[in-house]
A and B are shown apart, each in its own frame.
Chain A
Amino acid sequence: MSAANRIPVYRGRFGPAEAERLLWRAGFGPRPGEAKRLARKSVREAVRSLTHPKHERLVGPKPRDDDGHRIAPVDAWGHDHLWWLDRMVRSNRPLVERMTLVWHDWFATSNAGVGSQRLMLQQNQLFRSHGLGSFSQLLLAVTRDPAMLLWLSGSDNEKGSPNENYAREMMELFTLGAGRGYTERDVREQARALTGFRNDWSDNLGPVNFRYDSKRHDPGLKRVFGHRGHFGWRDACRLSIHNPKHRSYFVTKLWSYFVPTPPSASTRRALERLYVGRNFAIRPVVEAILLHPALYRGPRMVKPPVVYLAGMLRATRRGIDTDAWTWLSNQAGQQLFYPPNVAGWDDDRWLDTASFLARWNIAGRVLRPKVLEGDDKAPLNAEKLLERALAFWGHPPLSSTTHRALKTFAKHAVHDANQRWKKTQYPPLIENALRHLIAISPDLQTS
């Protein structure tokens, strides 16, 4: 391989700060001490431990609802969100869950249109099991996935009355990009190739018995991207993936989930070669992105709301014990299984004044069980209070601006304690406030 073919690998210091960023970008942030432990490895070993995880284990208390009951992800409203959030918090395979989230956004399907938590969870397992596998296998599986068949009208698409919904999005959003490498005619022809799926309706169960029925398939001759043939649904997927515009769409879009600046042209081309050379395998491309210097040296990224929440639960070793996470996540702009539309969440818009308030409330809710009360002892000393609050969050790396603002607050608040009762009452209040302010600081909203 010539030098130009190589994908750059990060060779700088891999310390706790770099390990922490990796854990946020490729997972849901560190558990206490985890960044330090990961930083003992080389960057290659660290990335490899994420991309080649051990057998799955869920660590920590099992999820419960507000009443202390087991959650009912298939049946109870909002428990689907809790179920997945629990995995984000407890799984020892953070990248697997993070990739599941990537695919949920990439093939964005909303239960608002599917109307079945059972089918949404089934789709979720599909994303999990194919998450680091082959993209062509993933696309085939998604194409016949019941939730997707309902969401994008796949089972309404039959011979004689084709429905173009899935065909269009498959090319526009899933494989090629808007207006890249296909025409309106290709949309119509791909829709014909994709005919044949159907399902029945049960009064009790809703949509059931999803299947391919060759009688509903249009077996006629189609012309797709200039190729002619009696194409079926597998061909439709294969043709999209082999379209020359797919590889650049794939690597660029995948990259954007991990790094906020675009890859250089040479990196992009090298990633494309890697992707095609490995027969559309996802794992090597993810691995190359996670090793790339841009991830460690480049600018920060805003944490998606569920990543922000799951990370705080991991940091405080708290399990899922309240239904509130569902509506709070919704207010913050990300209720799992309900992306806003088929294009997924708008990652330019994670933070605004409305979602900031929601994040403030999420942080408060995370902190509530740990709140220091008036009779808890805390020192009447700004520096010490700040040190204790930072230790509570495992000493996250903070900018000097943020550090200064926290210190100024602590100093003023300590100064306010000018009466005897305030001298004992205020310190725990100040520590509570510092924990909250750290949690919502711009530094912890980003990674």
Chain B
Amino acid sequence: MSDCCNEFSRSALLRKAIAEAGNGLPAIEPGMPRPAGTGLDRRSFLARSVGLALAVYGAGSLSPRLLDHGIEQALAAGPPNAVLVSVFLDGGADSLSLLFPHGDPEYRRLRPRLALPDSGLVFPEDARLRWHPAAASFHRLHTEGKLSVLPAVGYTNADQSHFTSRHYWEVGDTNARLQTGWLGRYLDRTGAKDNPLQGVSLDGELSPSLATAKVPVAALGGVGDYSFWAPGVWGQVEDRMLDAIGALGAHRGHDPALAGARAVTYQSHRLRQQLAPFNGQSITSPVAYPKSESGFPDQMAGLAALLAAGLPLHCIALSASGGYDTHSDQADSLAEDLKLTSDTLLAFQRDLEARGLANRVLTLVWSEFGRRAEENGSAGTDHGAAGIGLLMGTRVRGTMIGEFPGLRNGLDEDGNLKATVDFRSVYSSVLEQWLHTDADGIIPHAKAFPRVQLLR
């Protein structure tokens, strides 16, 4: 394709400006930072992900496109040894319910309405703590030694804005101006310039923690939602018609816009063919996932299938089901969300084990903050500071990392839980112990954050 026109287009003209364009994003909360990756809007991001479609399976007969080539090479090199899955609990999950201090005398005083009765799901490493009754799956994983638990992870002077605190976690620094994600910087250092599958958002839009500066990454709306429907066409004629899409894109010609449209037409045709085996019903998981209207179980089941297919996925990010911003009537919604999230994660772990992939995958579960220790007047909780973090996999130590600081001495002046482990300690340790790269240069001031022992 001719460069002149791409270079000239209005977008190119504005490209530099787009980096600043987040200035115009709504000031939902004053001073809120722009999401990492702003400027890579959803569409441009998907456009980069397009290449993946071309090459999912042996793309040898296709036109020699760069991304094709890259994925092929990545395939030939074998799947990455270490896969990292980042699961975000959106809204600030209440760690004091998920792993609640049953044995702390302050607990019932601070939570007269929300305090939970003894669930019997004990936490052997700290006798005060119990798992939420809806989180029996986490209890099970922990008992099996496949779940490490950070009961109070965060950072000092926690910001209580969803956007700001989430941004800090996504970029791996308490810096509102940083525009690449912590995993994005990792991929920029070690990734391939032509394999977008190395970083995949499964939420259908850019996950800011994967925002890179240099290498391509990908977004998939869902593994099985790419199918074409035509009114008044079925059977043999429909099959012929779908093949004809490929024919419409087969030749390129000289006109740049027409050639671009033809290329996309052809790519869409290939994507449809290649994702067809992953279409909803045809994903067969060796284990049962929870049934839900939420996409989360399907996304995790699809992810396991993609990994099992040998695709060169390396860092994956998605959001768990539910919203954890439980300002009112917390009890029911939290129980429902925790149940679906923990049951799905257990199913995912079992799926990986059944497929023989478990030793290659580490799953990190995080939220932007925990919630205020004292309940509010609407049977809910407000934004807090430190929250819970989880690391799931067969290779994790399966123990507590950091400690639960207690409600008497462990609260800051706002009545929020103080962090006993900094999230950047976790990131630095993941980078060094799981991904085998120096955290220095990826996590700002990495040296300042003591490493924690993650693996057996």
Which residues of A are at the interface with B, using a C-beta cutoff of 8 A? 108, 110, 112-115, 151-153, 156, 165, 168-169, 172-173, 177-179, 252-253, 256-257, 260-262, 299-302, 333, 340-344, 346-357, 360-361, 364-365, 367-368, 371-373, 399, 401-402, 405-406, 408-409, 412-413, 416, 422, 426, 428-430, 432-433, 436-437, 440-443, 445-446
CB distance from A169 to the nearest CB of B (A): 6
Return A343 CB to nearest CB of chain B, in Å: 4
Establish whether residues A341 and B241, one from each chain, have CB atoms under 8 Å apart when the complex forms. Answer: no
**Known contacts A172-B20, A437-B245; A430 and B257 CB within 8 A of each other:** no
When the two chains form their complex, are residues A341 and B22 in contact, meaning their CB atoms are under 8 A apart?
A: yes
With A173-B14, A367-B231 given, can you name 18 additional A-B contacts, CB distance below 8 Å?
A113-B26, A172-B17, A261-B5, A299-B5, A333-B43, A341-B22, A343-B14, A349-B44, A354-B46, A356-B265, A356-B267, A360-B228, A364-B230, A365-B231, A401-B262, A416-B240, A433-B244, A442-B249
Closest to A354 in B: B46
Q: Tell me, yes or no, whether B10 is within 8 Å of chain A by CB.
A: yes
Residues of chain B within 8 A (CB-CB) of A401 are: 250-251, 253, 262
The complex places the Cα of A112 from the Cα of B42 at a distance, in Å, of 15
Contact of A178 among B17, B22, B241 (CB under 8 A): B17
B66 at interface by CB-CB < 8 Å: no
Q: A178-B20, A433-B233 are in contact. Are A408 and B247 (CB under 8 A)?
A: yes
| Selected contact of A169 from candidates B16, B24, B41, CB within 8 Å | B24
Indicate whether B127 reaches chain A with its CB closer than 8 angstroms: no
How far is it, in angstroms, between the C-alpha of A352 and the C-alpha of B40 when the chains are bound?
A: 14
Assess the B27–A399 pair: CB atoms within 8 A. Answer: no
Q: Are B261 and A341 in contact (CB under 8 A)?
A: no
Residue among A260, A402, A406 with the highest chain B CB neighbour number at 10 A: A260
Chain A nearest CB, measured from B125 CB (Å) = 45
For chain B, residues 287 to 319, give those with C-beta under 8 angstroms from any C-beta of chain A.
Answer: none
Q: How far is the CB of A331 from chain B (nearest CB, A)?
A: 9
The one of B5, B228, B238 that contacts A260, using a Cβ cutoff of 8 Å? B5
In the A-B complex, list the 9 residue pairs whose CB atoms are closest, starting with the nearest: A342-B24, A113-B26, A371-B232, A442-B261, A432-B232, A352-B47, A409-B244, A405-B247, A256-B10
**Is B38's beta carbon under 8 Å from chain A?**
yes
A174 to chain B, nearest CB (A): 10
Question: A347 touching B46 by the CB < 8 A rule?
Answer: no
Checking A152, A179, A353, A422 against B268 with a beta-carbon cut-off of 8 angstroms, the contacting residue is: A353
A299 touches B268 (CB 8 A): no
Q: Do B11 and A356 touch across chains, with their CB atoms under 8 A apart?
A: no
Q: Using C-beta atoms within 8 Å of the partner chain, give the interface range for chain B.
A: 35 or more
Residues of A within 8 A of B175 (CB): none
Q: B241 contacts A346, CB within 8 Å?
A: no
Instruction: Please give, as numbers and ranges, the residues of chain A lying within 8 Å of B221 by CB-CB distance.
Output: 354
Name which residue of chain A comes closest to B47, CB basis.
A352
Residue of B with least CB distance to A438: B248
Which residues 18-51 in B have Cβ within 8 Å of A in the complex? 18, 20-27, 38-39, 41-44, 46-47, 49-50
Contact of A178 with B43 at beta-carbon distance under 8 Å, contacts A348-B6, A353-B264 already known? no
Instruction: For B261, list chain A residues within 8 Å (CB).
Output: 302, 351, 442, 445-446
> What residue in chain A is nearest B2 (Cβ atoms)?
A299
How many angstroms between the C-alpha atoms of A443 and B259 in the bound complex? 10
B236 close to A (CB within 8 Å): yes
A/B interface sample: 5 pairs, CB < 8 A: A341-B21, A346-B44, A352-B50, A405-B248, A436-B230
**Nearest chain A CB to B322's CB is how many angstroms away?**
23
Across the interface, which residues of A come within 8 angstroms of B232, CB to CB? 367-368, 371-373, 428-429, 432
Question: Would you call the interface of chain B mostly helix, strand, loop, or mixed?
Answer: helix
Known: A165-B23, A257-B10. A443 touches B258 (CB 8 A): yes
- Check B23–A342 contact: CB distance below 8 A: yes
Name the B residues within 8 Å of A426 (CB-CB). 236-237
Q: How far is the CA of A361 from the CA of B42 in the complex (A)?
A: 19
Residues in A with CB closer than 8 Å to B22 are 341
Residues of B with C-beta under 8 A to A260: 5, 8-9, 256-257
Judge whether A348 and B230 touch: CB under 8 Å: no
B residues in contact with A364, CB < 8 Å? 229-231
Q: A-facing mask of B386-419, CB < 8 A → 1, else 0?
A: 0000000000000000000000000000000000
Q: Contacts of A356 on B, CB cut-off 8 Å?
A: 264-265, 267-268
Which residues of the other chain, A, contact B62 by a CB distance below 8 angstroms?
none
- Per the bound structure, the CA–CA distance linking A151 and B262 in Å amounts to 37
Query: Which one of A299, A360, A361, A433 lies within 8 Å of B256 (CB-CB)?
Result: A299
Q: How far is the CA of A360 from the CA of B38 in the complex (A)?
A: 28
Indicate if the CB atoms of A446 and B43 lie closer than 8 Å.
Answer: no
Pairwise interchain contact B24-A151, C-beta atoms closer than 8 A? yes
Chain B contacts with A in 125-171, Cβ cutoff 8 A: none
The residue that A436 contacts in the complex, of B5, B17, B233, B236, with Cβ under 8 A, is: B233
Query: Which residue of chain A lies nearest to B17 when distances are taken between CB atoms in the complex?
Result: A178
Q: List the B residue with the shortest CB-CB distance to A105.
A: B10
Contact A262 B8, beta carbon cutoff 8 Å = yes
Minimum CB–CB distance from A147 to chain B (whole Å) comes to 12
A346 in contact with B229 given A179-B16, A352-B47 (CB within 8 Å): no
Q: How far is the CA of A36 from the CA of B414 in the complex (A)?
A: 73
Q: By the criterion CB–CB under 8 Å, are B257 and A299 in contact?
A: yes
Neighbouring A residues of B258 by C-beta, 8 Å:
299-300, 399, 442-443, 446
User: For the complex, what is the distance from the CA of A430 to the CA of B240, rounded to whole Å?
Assistant: 9
Q: Residue of B at shortest CB range from A441?
A: B248
Point out the residues of chain A lying under 8 angstroms from B42, CB to CB.
333, 340
A402 closest partner in B (C-beta): B248
Q: Which of chain B's residues 191-231 have a Cβ closer than 8 Å to chain A?
A: 221, 226, 228-231
The answer to whether B248 and A357 touch across the interface, beta carbons within 8 angstroms, is no
Closest chain-A Cβ to B225's Cβ sits at a distance in Å of 9
